[in-house]
Chains A and B, each alone.
Chain A
Amino acid sequence: MASTQLLDAPPPGTIARPKRETTAAWPLVDRLCHAVCWITGIGLCLVAAWIVLYMLVKGISALNLKLFVESPAPSLRERQSGGFLDPLIGTFIITAIGVGIAAPVGVGIATWLTEYARPRWLARTVESGIETLAGVPSIVLALFGLLIFARGFFSFLSASTNGGSVSGKSFLAAGLLMAVLALPLIVGTVREALLQLPSRTREASFALGKTRATTIRHVLLPSIRPGIAGGVVLGMGRIIGDTAIIVVMLGAAPKLQGAGGPPLLSTLRGTGSTLTSYVYGFSPAGEGNSPHKAYAAAFVLLMIVLALNALVTRLSRGLSLGSVDWTAKQ
């Protein structure tokens, strides 16, 4: 046989590429279903865009940079009602407290449930406990908190009157409840991420003579950083968006009101508002007469939550590929 030159690819004229499948060839029923799916998808996008745009259009007359730096001032005239600096700060404080507690606790619980889960009965109990928490409506949580934190034992969390009665309302108390609200989301996401890690990753570390604790700290948790971040951002979104706990635990006053004492602690033990309670209070639904500012605040709130959602999407996409090059980011 004559020796022939081995080609890297078949001769150009002989290559055939299959054409993309077209829906025209589908049966009628399939085409109908396809169309219905299309319409529902488009409809969903329209509803989402409508909400955001409506808030923008309604609030745009009031939306300006001054809103972000002025404190709210209760007034019947919208012009004199100030901005929403205090609610912005309040949202930030509440989120920081909630996530600051829920993130480490949630990661800890998820790690224990996935990697240890001994004794079995305790793990099962914890699991159903988390599920119960996930199902508790936030208004129920808020009422529970109001009763609990008004006890003398928790007087360090909030302001008390001279007579010794504890108000139970404060950023600290509300933040604790927010942590409870965000906890199931964080536990769920982190657990899912840990379960997705192949067992060979753990075995590889054990086979190098590493303990379970070292493996978790230096291999497993770093590997699921996108999962942890995703869970935290989900929890943040939940906290930022919640109204019931804020209205019950912080009251109706839009301004920050310190409880006295050292500056930061005074604010934390004091009351105030967040963007959600501001929107509620200033909208026609509440007692406020500044609907345009409520719309503007609602728009800002939406933007914050949307930005967080986009962040979750990006982070979880990185996770599902399983090949996040997180070392490159350092």
Chain B
Amino acid sequence: MSDRDYHPDLPVREHSAPPPPIRRIVVDRHPHVAEPASAGNGTGVAIPGRPATPSLARSAARPPAANVVERMRVESVWLAYGDNWVVRDVSLPVRQGEVLALIGASGSGKTTLLRSLNRLTEITTGAARAGRITLDGADIHEFEVTELRRKVSMVFQQPNPFPMSIFDNVGYALAERPQGRRRRRRSAAIEQAVVDALRRAGLYDEVAENLERSALRLSGGQQQRLCIARALAAEPEVLLLDEPCSALDPISTATIEELIVALRESVAVVIVTHNLQQALRVADHVAFMHLGELVEYGPAEQVFEHPVEQRTRDYVSGAFG
């Protein structure tokens, strides 16, 4: 920037030292994908040279999931709104037994990619796609869209409970054919399923005394856990989380993060997050996206501590974003 850009009346600041150089993001074609030799490899294993700051430390006691099964596969997927391709040629596996975090700056396409996994991108007019996404080997477009979304459930950034009772919020997700609200015949099975879902979401003990209370009376953290319970009620295979903690306080965030780690045993979890520390805390694998491209994919420790790509290194060290 030249001096002419400054207003002449403003005092010119004396530079005691030259400003730090702005690092340019290296643009290269192919993402670096580090596939672990075997599932669970690298999780919980101390890596030399890793900073011992407690804020960045994953819970060291966290054991790797018992068994890791691939649920979904994203193959050379391109996604666009109108003529704007916001996801470009991304390939990823989504596995049960581990948490996959999608990280990247705003506009990197991570939320779009997440929404494409249960075809929620389709409700936006002008959405286009290329490539293939499979669920248990079958293309997701072969499923009835409602069936797919029961298998690949989603929790959003803002807690969005329905203006119903706590019970009805979860029951709504469960009911194959929604019953009338008035004088709802509650079979023992549905009641049990609702309680189970609330338990899995770690909310049951807090709301057990009155499930008929309006869900809108819950706190933000409780509402978000209710949304997770609702998403879990239909027994999905994959749980998508779009920045689930960004509207919550640190205590609620910690509760939900513990919950996410606990859930990976039974469902494949994909989480989009802006919060790098959160990705490090909960994720087993991390995919770093930048301007629609997948830059690097690998075990969380590797992406954070020993990134292969310069762009990943810059992002996780805070050079941009």
Q: Name which of B20-28, B227-235, B266-274 contacts chain A.
A: B227-235
Residues of A within 8 A of B230 (CB): 204, 208
Does B123 belong to the interface (CB within 8 Å)?
yes
**Hey, what's the 0/1 contact readout for A279-317 against B, CB within 8 Å counting as 1?**
000000000000000000000000000000000000000
**Hey, what's the 0/1 contact readout for B201-241 against A, CB within 8 Å counting as 1?**
00000000000101011000000000100110010000000
Does B178 belong to the interface (CB within 8 Å)?
yes
- Expressed in whole angstroms, the minimum distance between the Cβ of B162 and any Cβ of chain A is 5
Does B142 belong to the interface (CB within 8 Å)?
no
Residues of B within 8 A of A208 (CB): 149-150, 153, 172-173, 230-231, 234
Does B57 belong to the interface (CB within 8 Å)?
no
Q: Are B163 and A326 in contact (CB under 8 A)?
A: yes
Q: Are B172 and A218 in contact (CB under 8 A)?
A: yes
Does B296 belong to the interface (CB within 8 Å)?
no
Does B80 belong to the interface (CB within 8 Å)?
no
Q: Are A207 and B162 in contact (CB under 8 A)?
A: no
Does A330 belong to the interface (CB within 8 Å)?
yes
Does B81 belong to the interface (CB within 8 Å)?
no
- Expressed in whole angstroms, the minimum distance between the Cβ of B36 and any Cβ of chain A is 30
Q: Are B163 and A209 in contact (CB under 8 A)?
A: no
Bound-state Cα–Cα, A328 to B212, Å: 8
Q: Name which of A4-12, A54-62, A195-203 contacts chain B.
A: A195-203
Q: Are B123 and A204 in contact (CB under 8 A)?
A: no
Contact of B120 among A198, A207, A323, A330 (CB under 8 A): A207
Does A23 belong to the interface (CB within 8 Å)?
no
Bound-state Cα–Cα, A218 to B164, Å: 10
Does A3 belong to the interface (CB within 8 Å)?
no
Residues of A within 8 A of B181 (CB): 218, 222, 330
Looking across the interface, which residue of chain A has its beta carbon closest to that of B151?
A: A209
Residues of B within 8 A of A330 (CB): 181-182
Report, as a range, how many residues of chain A touch the other chain.
20 to 34
**Hey, what's the 0/1 contact readout for B154-178 against A, CB within 8 Å counting as 1?**
1010101111110010001100001
Q: Are B149 and A200 in contact (CB under 8 A)?
A: no
Most buried by B among A207, A209, A324, A330: A207
- Expressed in whole angstroms, the minimum distance between the Cβ of A221 and any Cβ of chain B is 11
**Hey, what's the 0/1 contact readout for A190-224 against B, CB within 8 Å counting as 1?**
00000000101101111111110010011100110
Given contacts A198-B160, A324-B163, contact A210 B168 (CB under 8 A): no
Chain B residues within 8 Å of A, Cβ to Cβ? 118, 120, 123, 145-150, 153-154, 156, 158, 160-165, 168, 172-173, 178, 181-182, 212, 214, 216-217, 227, 230-231, 234
6 A-B pairs with CB atoms under 8 Å apart are A207-B156, A208-B149, A208-B231, A209-B234, A222-B181, A323-B216
Closest 6 CB pairs of A and B: A209-B149, A209-B150, A207-B154, A325-B214, A209-B146, A200-B160
Chain A residues within 8 Å of B, Cβ to Cβ? 198, 200-201, 203-211, 214, 217-219, 222-223, 323-328, 330
